[in-house]
Amino acid sequence: MSVLPKRAATWLPALLLSVAVLGQVGADAADGKDLAGDTTIRLSTSAHEPVTPIPVSVVLDSGKVALGHALFFDRRLSGDNTRSCAGCHQLPPLKASRPLEGMSTLQGDPPRSVPLLYNSGVLFWYNWDGRYRTLEEVISGAVTQPDKLATTWKALLARVEADYATRFAALYGQGLTVEQVTDVLAEFLRSLNTPNARFDRFLRGESNVLSADEASGYALFKEIGCSSCHSGVALGGNFFERFYIYDHAGEESEPRLQDQGRYYLTQDESDRNVFRVPSLRNVAHSAPYFHDGSAPDLEEAVEEMGEHQLGLVLTEEQRRLLVVFLQTLSADHQGVKP
């Protein structure tokens, strides 16, 4: 009996409210503001730089990070209970002044260098062939791929449910799902940024942080066109480029060109030998270089890049300056232990 007036009482405000919201939206649109509430502020200092510093703060859910942390080191994530994510992706402590050695190993078929996962949250493409666009996709792919965790989501959830159900329930209000496991692992990876490289400080305005050589190296980096590809916040990881643009006689049979890269994915002729431009963040820690680990040190990598990607023969001084500059991209990190 009282349904009608009551409903009318709720409709009317709702109607008025929606009208008001629409009016507001119209006004906002007229002001030219970002309708999505996208609060990214583009720093004017880096507006003319090809590189953007890593954001100093990231909004994270500590509960999810903790859960992701636990899962990252859980061997039961793999089909045979032997390998955790950390089994391949070590998260060693980083010290800018002391580059790690031999961190990158080759995995998979074709064998490709396993990247360090620091700063993976700022990338736009993942894997050497750009198979994934988001961290969630990466994680999802890693679970099922036979050369990675080699299991199924159903089996994985069944293995870990007993231990994690209550913690997930506390976070999400319900038991384990694929989305939740992916979410916490992605959140954990997003927590692995290393924002305080000297170069970032430079970009943020500390102009005297870089030495003269380093500054010269950066200038050279921009001048000869390295920054054309290694741009953005990760100095790479944002688009694709062909390996060996500029080749010379006798190098068609080069073994490293056997890996057709993105072609495997797209079956497009123009994608032969095309790879994702790798990020140069902490590049000093990730020798040996290239997708196949064929360049043992930075100097050689720089030389080959100049030769094959830019069509330039770099002088020894140029190479030194570039290496010096690249070392400013290293940051400290205490590492992550299980």
Partner 1 sequence: MKRMLMPTIAGAATLVLLSFLYYQAQRVDEINAGQASVLNLLQKAQNQENRIRSSAIQVHYERLHNFDHMLEDKRALRASVAAMQGERFEIFRDASTGVAHYINRLRNLVDERDELLLRFMRSVVLVKNAVSGMAYGLEKEALVDAEPELLDLIARFRNTLLAYSSNPTTPLSEQSEVLLEELEAALYELDDSPLYQPLMYRLQHGQVIFVERARIDQLLRQILRIGIPEHIDRIMSSYLAYHEQQEHVSSHYRMGLYVTGSLLLVFLIGTLIRLRFTARHLLSEKEMAQVTLRSIGDGVITTDLNCCITFMNPVAEKLTGVTMDAARGQSLTSVMALYSEITRKPVEDPARRCLESGSVIELTQHIYLPRDDGNHHLALTAAPIGGGEHKNLGAVLVIQDEGENRVLAEQLTYQSSHDSLTGLLNRLTFGERVQSLLLHPDPKNLPMLWHIDLDHFSVINDICGSKGGDIFLRQVSEKLKGLLSKHDLLSRVGGDEFAILRQCSEPADALNMACQLREAINEMRFEWDGDVFDISATIGVVLINQDYCDLSEVFMAAKSAVDSAREDGRNNICIHNKDKRDNSRKHELSLWVPRIKRALEEGRYRLYLQSIAPVGAHGYARPTHAEVLLRMEENGKIIPPIFIPAAEEYNLMPQIDRWVVSQVCAYIAKAQEEGAEAKDFSFSVNLSGTSVSDTFFLDFIRHTFAEFDTPTEQICFEITETAAIHNLQSAVVFIEAVRAMGCQFALDDFGSGMSSFAYLKSLPVDYLKIDGAFVKEMANDPVQHGIVEAINWVGRTLGMQTIAEFVENDAIVACLGEIGVDFAQGYGIDQPLAWDEYFRLRAEAVAATEHPQTASGAVTE
| Binding to partner 1, residues 177-216 (CB under 8 A) | none
Residue of 120, 216, 282, 309 that binds partner 1 (CB under 8 A): 309
Binding to partner 1 by residue 154, rule CB under 8 A?
no
Residue of 29, 43, 162, 170 that binds partner 1 (CB under 8 A): 29
What whole-number distance in Å separates Cα of residue 117 and Cα of residue 189? 7
Residue of 61, 137, 241, 254 that binds partner 1 (CB under 8 A): 241
Which of 291, 323, 308 is CA-nearest to residue 221?
323
Per-residue tokens: 104: 């990158």
| Binding to partner 1, residues 284-303 (CB under 8 A) | none
| Binding to partner 1, residues 70-89 (CB under 8 A) | none
What whole-number distance in Å separates Cα of residue 167 and Cα of residue 63? 9
Minimum separation from the CB atom of position 302 to partner 1 (A): 15
Helix (H, G, I), strand (E, B) or coil at 154: helix
Binding to partner 1 by residue 245, rule CB under 8 A?
yes
Binding to partner 1 by residue 269, rule CB under 8 A?
no
Binding to partner 1 by residue 133, rule CB under 8 A?
yes
Interface stretch with partner 1, choices 154-162, 202-210, 245-253, 296-304 (CB under 8 A): 245-253
Residue 316: count of CB within 10 angstroms of its CB: 9
What whole-number distance in Å separates Cα of residue 305 and Cα of residue 185? 34
- Give φ, ψ of 275 to 5 degrees: -130, 160
Binding to partner 1 by residue 232, rule CB under 8 A?
yes
Minimum separation from the CB atom of position 335 to partner 1 (A): 27
Q: What are the distances in angstroms from CA 256 to CA 31, 149, 291?
A: 54, 26, 9
Within the chain, residue ranges assigned H as helices are: 3-31, 62-72, 135-144, 153-172, 178-190, 198-203, 212-223, 226-229, 263-266, 298-305, 316-327
Binding to partner 1 by residue 279, rule CB under 8 A?
no
Residue of 104, 119, 127, 231 that binds partner 1 (CB under 8 A): 231
Which of 190, 74, 78, 55 is CA-nearest to residue 135?
190
Binding to partner 1 by residue 11, rule CB under 8 A?
yes
Of residues 92 and 225, the one with the C-beta less far from partner 1: 225
Residue of 213, 225, 265, 272 that binds partner 1 (CB under 8 A): 225
Minimum separation from the CB atom of position 240 to partner 1 (A): 6
Helix (H, G, I), strand (E, B) or coil at 201: helix
Q: Which residues pair with 137 in a beta bridge?
A: none
Check if the beta carbon of residue 200 is closer than 8 Å to that of residue 281: no
Residue of 132, 153, 172, 240 that binds partner 1 (CB under 8 A): 240
Binding to partner 1 by residue 283, rule CB under 8 A?
no
Residue of 9, 102, 248, 251 that binds partner 1 (CB under 8 A): 248
Residues in CB range of 71: below 8 A, 6 or more apart:
77, 85, 160, 164, 181, 184, 185, 188
Residue of 39, 40, 44, 62 that binds partner 1 (CB under 8 A): 40
Residue of 48, 59, 82, 253 that binds partner 1 (CB under 8 A): 48
Per-residue tokens: 56: 């100093």
Residues in CB range of 17: below 8 A, 6 or more apart:
none
Residues at the site binding partner 1, with contacts judged by CB under 8 A: 1, 3-4, 7, 11, 14-15, 18, 21-22, 25, 29, 34-36, 38, 40, 42, 46, 48-52, 124, 133, 222-225, 227-229, 231-233, 238-242, 245-246, 248, 270, 309-313
